[in-house]
Structure 1
Amino acid sequence: MLGALPGFAQTYPVSGRVVDITDQSPLIGANVLLVRLPDSAKTGTAVDPTGSFSIPAAPGRYVLTTSFLGYVTLRRPVEVTNGPVALGSLTLATSQVKLKGVEVVGQAAAAVQKGDTTQFDSRAFKTNPDANAQDLITKMPGVVVQDGKVQAQGEQVQRITVDGKEFFGSDPDAVLKNLPAEAIDKIQVFDRRSDQSQFTGFNDGNTEKTINIVTKPNFRNGQFGRIVAGYGPSSTNSLADGKYQVSGNLNSFKGTRRFSVVAQSNNVNQQNFGTDDLLGVIGTSAQGGGGARGGQGGARGGQGGNRGGGQGQQGGSNAGNFLVNQASGISTTHAVGLNFSDTWGKKVDVQASYFFNLSDNNSNSTTNRLYNVRDSAFYSPYSRQSPLLRTLGYNEISEGSARNINNRFNLRLDYKIDSTNSILWQPRFTMQRNSSDSNLDGNTFLSGFSDVPDSVQSANLSRYNSAQDGITFTNQLLYRHRFAKRGRTFSLGLNTTYNDRDADNYLYSDNFDYTSRPDIRLSQTNQYSRLDQVGWTWNGSANYTEPISLKSQLQLNYTLNYSPNDSDKKTYNLLNGEQQVLDEQLSNVFTSRYITNSGGLTYRYQFEKLEWAVGTSVQYAQLHNEQEFPQTVTTDRPFWSVLPNASVQYKFSRNQNLRLNYQTRTQNPSINQLQAVVNNSNQLQIRTGNPDLAQEYSHNLFLRYSSSQPETSRSFFALIGGSYTDNSIANSTTVVQRPTAIDGTGVIVPAGGTIIRPVNLNNQYSLRSFANYTLPLKVIKSNLNLNASASFSQTPGFVNGVLNYNRSPNFGLGAVLSSNISPELDFTLSSNSTQTYARNTVQSNSNSQYFRQNTTLRLNWILLKGVTLQSEVNHVALSGLTAGYNQNFVLWNASLGKKLFAKQQAEIRLYAFDLLAQNNSIQRNITDAYTEDVRTNILQRYFMVMFTYNLRNFSGSGAAPTDAPATETGSLAPRRHSRRPSARRWRRARQRVWRLRAFHFFG
């Protein structure tokens, strides 16, 4: 058994880094075992995602053993005297030994907990030969891919790396769709610490959920890729109207040098870029109800928050138009991406990527909204009902088209000057052009029968055109110095961000009011507006860490942040269609200056199983706002804040740990929220800013528990946490009862229209929990993944001057059954059910609840040699929505293919999308002021003939055979041979296998 090092002796860290001998890349997950001489007491660890390790050891002589599947085991003597032992880089060479005639078959452990990292073995999850990384990763416990977003352990994945390095910047979609599953050895899920924290070893609490993909050694030298081309005729038999897709990727790996190219063109809603492509898309001048939905539903709403203010916003302001989300209309996309990474010498690591995207989107949507307000004053003489309390609602039909052109460049350069100094430089540049055109038909209504319209109050017909240009340049520079005394470090950081956005907008609208007499046109608008926004962020920081003892460390930090922003919006009334007359009441020139100074002290303690840290910062912030036009108004707001932080981590064992993290932060309002200029793009829903806004102050607390049992392939993960915000930036919504003019603007809001203004409110909080349990079902050779979730949010907001709290409890249950039978038969059956409630303190009659269930069966079956069948059936059930929006439909996609050529590297297949022609897109959004349902046009049935060609060219041992069983010796296990091995070779093989088993168990 493993023995612990003597507890009474003084211990010193034995540290180093395990890397590949050829390319110096970290061998993530390698095992390091320290054996004390002569009593053979052992202690061990697994290296972290950077390849580093640290083992406490008392003075004495040891043997250090380093092992990694597919590599030759390294042993070296180590002597600990009276100080730390730094071993530097330990290089492992790829093993050339093959166990001929030997096959050791066993069940690979599905999940292993290594400190903060949950590691999954790809051998425990069988996929078909053509599967990509996304097909593999969705089989793993707690990992979900939905609407183009990856979630792991209940949190959204913000970064996916390949062998510890970025792959196409921070775009998870590019990695998952372009990396074949057969190249993957391990999947690691962990909270990635900041570069500053990784350098100092001091956990500063700044983490992001990260997935690291560890490739198989034999896939690190060679080329692989795929080319896909397909076409399907339209119902009109016109070639121009047919559906098509062309895509390809080529990856060339040679040691540390990796170069990849991806490209695609299609009109079937397949897009291949992340949210970072969308500079300037979410902003002012949203057409129609989108302005309200983006500000309320996107930022604060219960279900709307998942949309990021997306679908509701039309025209140039709809981020959802450009994401991987079928619910945002239909898009034609052309994209190309380049990615490069290499290690130059022993000092420089470089990673660079470039993306180009061109997306044309067409979006048609209908919206039904019910406000949380009932008032007897809402009365129309043309109503068929008596003037009782009635519900106010809003209906909208919108049609829009948009074109987005985007260029994005990323670079990461890590230069190790010497053993004690390094510089990290990360510039990022994005340039975007967006043009849009949208039409809107909206009306407000009263109803005595819930969501059934009774009498129309007002109407708006409008057309909106927009052309926007945006540039963003960010630059992160970090200098790090490590002193001779272990644990003593100093670093300086400088982060800058530059944003420049220009927009030209045209609006033509007619507004009608029906409360006094039918068909009266209240106002007509024909205007042009020009928006120029320029913003900077300068952030400088200094950090110093000092070891107090071998178990404790102190960190001092100072941060200076300066954010100047300028916004100039000029609105002109167009007379006779051409003459421009400045409308001073709808124009505004505004500047905002936000500066913070903060200094803090944090103490960290770490010993064996327990690690904890506690600290605090004191921050002084000043917000200076100055309106230069049409009137001169100056506002100064000082803020003093104390920002405590704390974290605790306890490791019950190597495979079981508990973590608690508490953080506080402040957030200044954006210039769009501060600028007091009226946005009248939809006069039924007017938005304006508030220069008197204060900064937000938030508390965040999370508790996480992880456990795995490698010997049984079982794992469990649970999370519970929440946030509380003081001075949260919420909305004040005023529903006007009769035609109302906004003071000083000349804008008239019809009866039933709304005026929305941001305000600071307290008692905004959210709670959420998530649990996931995975176990193998050996009877059917499959893995069962069970999950449960619950959340509760409270969102404050003023509705007609009365404080309303919208409370949204949410409960969910899910199960995923994924096959592990063989690569020839691969299926995944999943079902997720969610029950959501909307509760309001002002008007309980507007409370509601709705249910959503999504059940999916994915099947990939090799019927016989060279013949493949793929099918995906998705059943969606929605209930509790407004009339006409409840749905129960099935989306069924299927294909039948035939492999071609001697190595079956090509395939031709017939593909059918939405065989039953039932595809639908419905979204519910809940805010403090209203509940709404949105239906958007979506891609429906088409057929396509597709040709696929897979490129595989690897040096050395070649690609691992897809039919190789899961073995204890990993990629070293060969296929079965008929020649009987000699007795001597057999004994050596058994000894080698048992040694590897011992390293896995004890390491």
Structure 2
Amino acid sequence: MRKQLLCLLALLCLGSTAPLFAQGRISGTVRDTAGKQSLENAVVALLHKKDSTLATFTRTDKRGAFQTAPLPPGKYVLLLSFPKFADLSDEVELGAGDKDLQQLALTPKSLLLNEVIVKANTAIRIKGDTTEFAADSFAVKEGATVEDLLKRLPGFSVNAKGEVTTQGKRVDKVLVDGEEFFGDDPTMATQNLSARIVDKVQIYDTKTEQQNLTSINSGNEGKTLNIKLKEDKKKGGFGKLAAGTDFTNFLEARALYNRFVGKKKVSVYGTRSNVNTGSLNWQDKQKLGMDNDTEYDEISGYYYSFGGDDGFSDWSLRGLPDSYTGGGLYSNKWNGDRQNLNASYRYNQLGVDNQSLKTEQNIPYRTSRLWDTRTTALSRQHAVNGKYEFKLDSLTTLTYKLAGTYKTSDQWTKTYSHFLSGISDTVNTADQERSNSSSRRQVDQTLVWKQLFQKKNRMLITTLRHGMTDDDQRGIVKTVQQFFPDNRPDSISILDQMRNTDGRSRTLGMKTT
């Protein structure tokens, strides 16, 4: 009986390891049909025939030879690619054991007849560190977004937050035709663009401007996803509308619309609320590239802060707010991408009405104090930001940045206080009115001249910055105090005070590195 059990266990072990022993490798040699030479570093990719997913890929050695990793038996599509040569695509069936394809020939594109039109139907192409997917080779349902398409691509995963991961790294930047798409939020493109307008999807290592100039990588780069649109589909629009009300006292509404035609992009938005500040939430600000007014130029070493704090993000959750927000953004590139312009305008208005009652008791001394305060405040702000960049040639770039704000604030406060001794004996009363008005005008300008040289890692950067700030403040305080010794009116104290404060600031700086 024991021998029978041992035999059965041995058969089960052999059966479970059979697929491992059945795996085989595909090998071959890639040569040039014209020069009769071996092609070194040619890309060799194998796709599963049933769903076009990537099985494995490798490159040829100095002799033009290649050998794949072990693969299970099945039908595959072999793809060969080499610069300036026509791609080769062929079906390969792998049985149990290795398979040698012998010599595989690639033809230079220069030898192809002009009358012959070669249409590549390659689902995946690998060029250097860039992997390119032909969107039409991956079936998606009708109405699918780019995010749905990415879920079909081999090696890609998308979580519930819309974050994309590929080749073990997170995609930290998503571009459309090589440009940011309405800000730096990746989901703006992946969740709003239709999969049917996509021509190709490219994935490559994210590199900073400094790394592009020096060709030095840190090894910790993320991934950049570039979505290339079909030529006749490079236009469209999408938006967002949200509103809520009790049809009596409370209202909150938010509208956002984006439109793009080629490299021209326009966004407009507006909000209205008497529930909170009514400003765009941080997600929408990030989508529009408005979440951070501070910019760092890693080459010049400058931090640029434009416009300052708008003062509308927090109203201390005290009182009844009434707010409006509106604005727009525009960006465009022309002259062969040598010139580009980004401009934005933003208007904020926030009014707050607040009334509070406060009572304070001192039990040991049997005294109490009562305050009744009413406050009304209104703030308005206009903000303009712009950036113009002109590439004079491949080595010289001129950049101009402008930021301007104009803000006004008015606040009126009336407070009545009553000081009691014992149960009902009045000690003193006070009526006070405070009014404060202020305005600020601020302009920041920056001009950057960037000159690269033919010698690697050599550059000259000159930065000129000019700033101007004007502040005006006016405050008025009126107080009437009445005193009651022995619980009878005795004297009155009156304070009537006005204070004006003006401030002017001018800055000018230059830096050359």
Could you tell me which residue of structure 1 aligns to residue 479 of structure 2? Answer: 509
Q: 1:337 aligns with which of 327, 345, 348?
A: 327
Would the alpha carbon gap of residues 434 and 97 (structure 1) be closer, same or farther in structure 2, given more than 3 Å must change?
same
- Aligned in 2, Cα 1:162/1:346: closer, same or farther, shift over 3 Å? closer
Partners of 1:464 and 1:77 in 2: how far apart? 69
The alpha-carbon distance between structure 1 residues 243 and 381, as it changes in their structure 2 partners (threshold 3 A), is: closer
Q: 1:183 aligns with which of 177, 189, 192?
A: 192
Rounded Cα–Cα distance in structure 2 between residues aligned with 1:198 and 1:475: 27
* Contact 1:161–1:167 (8 Å) recurs in 2: no
2:51 corresponding residue in structure 1 = none
1:38 aligns with 2:62: yes
TM superposition shift of 1:472:
0.9
Aligned to 1:425: 400
CA apart distance, 1:77: 7.9
Aligned to 1:533, the other structure's residue is in SS state strand
- Find the partner of 1:349 among 312, 337, 340: 340
Contact preservation (8 Å) 1:232, 1:243: yes
In structure 2, which of residues 132, 136, 140 is the aligned counterpart of residue 96 of structure 1? Answer: 136
Which of 218, 222, 230 aligns to 2:236? It is 222
Residues 214 and 383 of structure 1: CA distance in aligned 2, closer, same or farther (over 3 Å) = farther
- State how 1:217-296 maps to structure 2 within 5 Å: 221-234=235-248, 242-272=249-279
1:582-661 paired onto structure 2 within 5 Å? none
Counterpart in the other structure of 2:297 = none
- CA–CA distance in structure 1, aligned partners of residues 352 and 389 of structure 2: 39
What RMSD, in angstroms, separates the aligned Cα atoms of the two structures? 5.8
Counterpart position of 1:529: 499
Distance of 2:416 and 2:174 partners within structure 1:
46
2:95 aligns with: none
- Once residues 253 and 477 of structure 1 are traced to their aligned partners in structure 2, the CA distance between those partners, rounded to angstroms, is 28
Q: Aligned partners of 2:137 and 2:380: how far apart in 1?
A: 52
Structure 2 spans left out of the alignment, 5+ residues: 1-56, 67-81, 85-121, 142-147, 166-172, 196-200, 217-221, 283-308, 421-425
- Could you report, residue by residue, the CA deviation over 1:167-213 in whole angstroms, capped at 9, with x for unpaired residues? 58xxx9xx89x969832899xxxx998x8x6886699xxxxxxx999
Q: Deviations over 1:219-249 (max 9, x none)?
A: 9741111344554333xxxxxxx32344322
Aligned to 1:183, the other structure's residue is in SS state coil
* Alignment check: 8 A CA contact 2:268 2:327 kept: yes
2:389 equivalent among 414, 417, 427: 414
The normalised TM-score by structure 2 is 0.50
Pair 1:537–1:468, CA change in 2 (3 A):
same
1:401 to 376, 379, 385: 376
Amino-acid identity (%): 15
Which structure carries more relative contact order (alpha carbon 8 Å, separation 6+)?
A: 1
Q: Deviations over 1:224-279 (max 9, x none)?
A: 11344554333xxxxxxx3234432221123322111112223222522699xxxx
Q: Report the equivalent of 2:54.
A: none
SS in 2 for 1:96: helix
**Aligned in 2, Cα 1:479/1:512: closer, same or farther, shift over 3 Å?**
farther
Contact 2:397–2:450 under 8 Å retained in 1: yes
Closer, same or farther: CA 244–481 of 1 in aligned 2, 3 Å: same
Of the three residues 109, 125, 130, the one matched with 2:160 is 125
| CA displacement, residues 9-30 of structure 1 (integer Å, 9 cap, x when unaligned) | xxxxxxxxxxxxxxxxxxxxxx
User: Which residue identity lines up with residue 244 of structure 1 in the other structure?
Assistant: L
In the TM superposition, what are the counterparts of 1:745-894 in structure 2 within 5 Å?
A: none
Contact 1:366-1:395 within 8 A present in 2 as well? yes
Residue type at the aligned position of 1:432: K
Q: Deviations over 1:470-518 (max 9, x none)?
A: 2111112111111111111110111222111222322112468999999
Q: Provide the rounded CA distance (Å) in 1 between the counterparts of 2:400 and 2:244.
A: 42
Q: How many residues align?
A: 337
Matching residue's letter, 1:38: K
Q: 1:216 to 1:489 in 2, by over 3 A?
A: closer
Distance 1:243 1:74, change over 3 A: same
SS at match of 2:191: helix
CA contact (8 A) 1:183 1:215 kept: no
Structure 1 residue aligned with 2:365: 383
CA contact (8 A) 1:351 1:412 kept: yes
8 Å contact from structure 1 (residues 166, 351) kept in 2 = no
Residue 314 of structure 1 is matched in structure 2 by: none
> Structure 1 506/326 Cα, relative in aligned 2: closer, same or farther at 3 Å?
closer
Using the alignment, how far apart are the partners of 1:515 and 1:41 within structure 2? Answer: 108
The 1:507/1:231 distance shift into structure 2, 3 A limit, reads same
Give the conservation status (yes or no) of the 8 Å contact 2:446–2:464: yes
C-alpha deviation, 1:531, in angstroms: 2.0
- 1:38-74 CA-to-partner distances (Å, cap 9, x unmatched) read 38999xxxxxxxxxxxxxxxxxxx979xxxxxx9755
The whole-number CA distance in structure 1 between the counterparts of 2:182 and 2:310 is: 23
CA contact (8 A) 2:192 2:238 kept: no
Check conservation: 2:174, 2:227, Cα contact below 8 A.
Answer: no
Q: Which one has a bigger Cα radius of gyration?
A: 2
1:469/1:230 CA distance change after superposition, 3 Å? same
Match of 1:358 in 2: 349
Choose the corresponding residue for 1:474, options 409, 431, 444: 444
Deviation for aligned residue 1:347: 0.8
User: What is the rounded CA distance, in whole Å, between the counterparts of 1:438 and 1:91 in structure 2?
Assistant: 64
- Spell out, residue by residue over 1:277-298, the C-alpha distance to the aligned partner (whole angstroms, 9 max, x if none): xxxxxxxxxxxxxxxxxxxxxx
Matches of 1:350 and 1:533, distance apart in 2: 33
Contact persistence 1:273–1:323 (CA under 8 A): no
Does the 8 A contact of 2:181 with 2:188 survive in 1?
no
Native 8 Å contact 1:355 1:407 kept in 2: yes
Output the amino acid matched with 1:433. Answer: T
Following superposition, the deviation at residue 411 of structure 1 comes to 0.8
CA 96–534 in structure 1, closer or farther in 2 if over 3 Å, else same: same
The one of 500, 506, 509 aligned to 1:539? 509
Residues in 2 aligned to 1:200 and 1:518: alpha-carbon distance in whole angstroms: 84
d(CA) in 2 for partners of 1:122, 1:329? 46
Residues 294-333 of structure 1 correspond to what in structure 2 (within 5 A)? Answer: 322-323=312-313, 327-333=317-323
Asked whether the 8 Å contact 1:37–1:63 carries over to 2, the reply is no
Note the alpha carbon deviations across 1:930-986, whole angstroms, 9 max, x for none: xxxxxxxxxxxxxxxxxxxxxxxxxxxxxxxxxxxxxxxxxxxxxxxxxxxxxxxxx
Q: Contact 1:458–1:511 at 8 Å: present in 2 too?
A: yes
Separation in 1 of the partners of 2:372 and 2:225?
Answer: 48
Q: Which amino acid aligns with 1:329?
A: G
In structure 2, do the counterparts of structure 1 residues 273 and 468 end up closer, same or farther at CA, with 3 Å as the change threshold? farther
1:562-609 Cα distance to aligned partner (Å, 9 max, x none): xxxxxxxxxxxxxxxxxxxxxxxxxxxxxxxxxxxxxxxxxxxxxxxx
Mapped contact 1:249–1:262 kept (Cα < 8 A): yes
How far apart, CA to CA, are the structure 1 residues paired with 2:398 and 2:279? 32
Residue-by-residue CA offset, 1:808-840 (whole Å, 9 max, x unaligned): xxxxxxxxxxxxxxxxxxxxxxxxxxxxxxxxx
The verdict on how the C-alpha distance between 1:97 and 1:470 changes in structure 2, with shifts beyond 3 A counting, is same
CA distance in 1, matches of 2:214, 2:372: 55
Cα pair 2:407 2:440 within 8 Å, conserved: yes
Whether contact under 8 Å (1:437, 1:466) holds in the other structure is: yes
Distance 1:214 1:330 in 2: 45
**What letter corresponds to residue 62 of structure 2 in structure 1?**
P
In 2, are the aligned partners of 1:250 and 1:262 still within 8 Å (CA)? yes
